[in-house]
Amino acid sequence: MPEQDIIVQIIPNSSRNEIIQQADNYLKIKIKAAPVKGKANKELLKFLAKIYKKPVSQIEIIKGLTTKNKLIRIY
């Protein structure tokens, strides 16, 4: 399967991890973790790995490490 890039907007400090909006190559996701010391990013990668049934090592944040809007590459 080829690489896939998706744009993700996250809402940290939510009550649970869930996708609340989805379109072509776009996801809006609530994440439980706080945006402190990369915790929300790690939680996001684990959540996406579960959704796409891939190991976390095959999911990478390309842009947006410190913002709510991120570009994610799935290998």
Please indicate whether residue 24 or residue 2 has the higher confidence score (pLDDT). Answer: 24
CA–CA separation, 37 vs 62, rounded Å? 17
Q: How confident is the model at residue 64 (pLDDT cuts 50, 70, 90)?
A: very high
Domain region containing 19: 4-74
In one-letter notation, the amino acid at residue 48 is L
Q: How confident is the model at residue 1 (pLDDT cuts 50, 70, 90)?
A: low
pLDDT per position as a tens digit, 50-63: 999 999 999 999 99
| Residue-wise DSSP of 11-35 | E-S-SS-EEEEEETTEEEEE-SS-S
% of the chain beyond a pLDDT of 90: 97
Counted domains in the chain: 1
Domain CATH number, residue 19? 3.30.1200.10
